[in-house]
Structure 1
Amino acid sequence: MCRWAAYKGEPLYLEELVSSPAHSLIEQSHCATRAKTATNGDGFGIAWYGDRPEPGRYRDVLPAWSDCNLRSLARQIRSPLFLAHVRAATTGATRRDNCHPFVHGHWSFMHNGQIAGFDRIRRQMEAMLSDELFESRTGTTDSELLFLLALEFGLDADPFGAMEKAIFAVENLSREKSGEALVRFTAAFSDGRALYAVRYATDHKPPTLYAAPMGGKSGYCLVSEPLNDEADTWVEIPDGSAVKVTAEGMQALLFQPEVLSEAA
């Protein structure tokens, strides 16, 4: 499983999540405490928003703890909205195209989790994409393909609804192919204006997600695991939840792909 951190609020240097805290994302890359695997050394990536609508991005296949460029960039880049990720590969080789965050236009996306039996349904998932989105696929992970499916299902118009439709489609394909479905999905994504996050699993055992106020009265940090030992600061986001962070603060909603199944 991977580890990630995301932030929206008053501009902060990336190092305040990536490298400075006692349990920073770099620290989690070799010593995660709330994941099945303590080491997340199969690459890393950061995406940040500034003066342009599309995000900047830096990714590499080196472990985050061994890349001096990451520390240098995190110390210099200041942004009101950014995503950072360290990878423990479940599907897809260790190569730059498979490192999160993934970017398409003004959207960025990163994920912790997996689609069970992904290889059996990958071709059917790809067939759901328009030519434009299919041709934009550069890696081989289930994460990138889920992101592209959400774009196909209307991420611009309805971010959470599109993500519910994407997961619903994947679960349907899995059941048709093998008679069962398992999706574990804790993800963050952004259009450069708001920060969105989801925690969901078919078996109600999703990867962890925590939130804490940071960077001004309406700013929030969303993380796979807390960045420090201040237990009272961090709130665990429950399974089946969607979180939206805007200039007005954080809003929590239900995330229910199963409702689509009942309506079908």
Structure 2
Amino acid sequence: MCRWLAYSGEALKPAELILDAQHSLVAQSLNSPLGAETVNGDGFGFGWYPEGTKAGSTPALFHSTEPAWNDENLRELTNSILSPLFFGHVRAAGGPPIQQTNCHPFRYENWMFMHNGFLDGFAKMKRDLTFSVDESLYPLIHGTTDSEVMFYLALTLGLQDDPIGAMTKTVQRIEEVGESKGIRFPMQGTIALSDGATLWAFRYSTSGRSRSLYHSVAIPELREMYPDAARLEVFGDKAKVVVSEPLNDIPGAFVEVAESTVAILTDAGYHHEPFMARADD
């Protein structure tokens, strides 16, 4: 459906990953070997926390309905700013129209959210799910995607206090509504979520066949493995990236996130926890 990346670490020009990497996000918008669709040209989004902003600050967003490979503003922007945490997303529209309000990432206060995948049978579930969103948040849903409804449902269910718990309740609600509508596999996707300090990356689907998801190996480890790799000099020791598919072909540079898992990335490193794990997993 889409491709995305999320970076956390020392302040970096986002173009290093979005434009300049071997298999950058823009390259994946043209040719995505691991994606459900090869081309992801139905708009894009870029969200970032500016360098030097305080914890709890609101991130900035740039959305466009242009294909990412055809937007000079994206090149100008990502080469001109520094950010310690940013999201990038290229879209392959699976039904909802191509419009800026349907481009990821989505934002609420200091939180950003993006999704690759879909809610199967969303047309049947939409009324029940949107009516589950708190009435104070409902007017903030500006687009028509299942992803945005999922984000505001998670906010309703306590995202700001307990991100993993809220996402668990959100998926449970989706599956509950899906089951009531006769939808066998309602949830599919990978999700990135951040409050500006921590980055959570979820991989889960009801069918157990989720979209691909990887994160980078720690930079100090990579420097030990590849001491002559000049490309690594761009990144600080805390640099980490979560991606729909690897940004390069360097063996050992990326680790696959397992099914029914959330990867949690902070300045201290990363670890994995089970997410919505089933007894047969």
TM-score band w.r.t. shorter chain = over 0.9
- Tell me which amino acid in the other structure corresponds to 2:65: V
Indicate the residue corresponding to 1:186 in structure 2: 190
Can you give the 5+ residue segments of structure 1 that lack an aligned partner in the other structure?
Answer: 260-264
Indicate the residue corresponding to 1:143 in structure 2: 147
Displacement after TM superposition at 1:258 (Å): 5.4
Within 2, Cα distance between the matches of 1:153 and 1:136?
Answer: 16
Question: Is this contact kept in 2: 1:91–1:140, CA < 8 A?
Answer: no
Please list the CA deviations of residues 86-115 of structure 1 after superposition, one character each: whole Å capped at 9, or x if unmatched. 000113100000000001111101100011
Report whether the alignment pairs 1:256 with 2:276: yes
Indicate the residue corresponding to 2:236 in structure 1: 216
Indicate the residue corresponding to 2:85 in structure 1: 81
Indicate the residue corresponding to 1:12 in structure 2: 12
Within 2, Cα distance between the matches of 1:179 and 1:20?
Answer: 41
SS at match of 1:54: coil
SS at match of 2:203: strand
Within 1, Cα distance between the matches of 2:141 and 2:249?
Answer: 39
Indicate the residue corresponding to 1:230 in structure 2: 250
Please list the CA deviations of residues 209-245 of structure 1 after superposition, one character each: whole Å capped at 9, or x if unmatched. 0110353333310000111111311111110100111
Q: TM-score, normalised by structure 1?
A: 0.95
- Tell me which amino acid in the other structure corresponds to 2:258: P
Question: Is this contact kept in 2: 1:109–1:147, CA < 8 A?
Answer: yes
Within 2, Cα distance between the matches of 1:10 and 1:36?
Answer: 32
Within 2, Cα distance between the matches of 1:77 and 1:227?
Answer: 21
Indicate the residue corresponding to 1:34 in structure 2: 34
Within 2, Cα distance between the matches of 1:258 and 1:113?
Answer: 20
Report whether the alignment pairs 1:126 with 2:130: yes
Report whether the alignment pairs 1:164 with 2:164: no
Displacement after TM superposition at 1:178 (Å): 1.5
Within 1, Cα distance between the matches of 2:75 and 2:245?
Answer: 20
Within 2, Cα distance between the matches of 1:115 and 1:169?
Answer: 12
Question: Is this contact kept in 1: 2:120–2:183, CA < 8 A?
Answer: no
SS at match of 1:131: coil
Please list the CA deviations of residues 120-156 of structure 1 after superposition, one character each: whole Å capped at 9, or x if unmatched. 0101001111112101000000001101111111011
Question: Is this contact kept in 2: 1:172–1:181, CA < 8 A?
Answer: no
Q: 1:40 to 1:179 in 2, by over 3 A?
A: closer
- Greater Rg by CA: 2
Within 2, Cα distance between the matches of 1:75 and 1:231?
Answer: 28
Question: Is this contact kept in 2: 1:91–1:142, CA < 8 A?
Answer: no
- Tell me which amino acid in the other structure corresponds to 1:19: L
Report whether the alignment pairs 1:61 with 2:65: yes
Aligned residues: 259
Report whether the alignment pairs 1:97 with 2:117: no
Within 2, Cα distance between the matches of 1:19 and 1:245?
Answer: 23
Can you give the 5+ residue segments of structure 2 that lack an aligned partner in the other structure?
Answer: 220-234
Indicate the residue corresponding to 2:156 in structure 1: 152
- Tell me which amino acid in the other structure corresponds to 2:39: T
Displacement after TM superposition at 1:182 (Å): 2.5
Displacement after TM superposition at 1:257 (Å): 6.5
- Tell me which amino acid in the other structure corresponds to 1:162: A
Indicate the residue corresponding to 1:262 in structure 2: none
SS at match of 2:137: helix
Q: TM-score, normalised by structure 2?
A: 0.89
Moved over 6 A (4+): none
Q: 1:114 to 1:176 in 2, by over 3 A?
A: same
Within 2, Cα distance between the matches of 1:96 and 1:131?
Answer: 23
Question: Is this contact kept in 1: 2:89–2:104, CA < 8 A?
Answer: yes
Please list the CA deviations of residues 21-55 of structure 1 after superposition, one character each: whole Å capped at 9, or x if unmatched. 11100010011110121100000001001215000
- Tell me which amino acid in the other structure corresponds to 1:9: G
Q: 1:143 to 1:179 in 2, by over 3 A?
A: closer
Indicate the residue corresponding to 1:25 in structure 2: 25
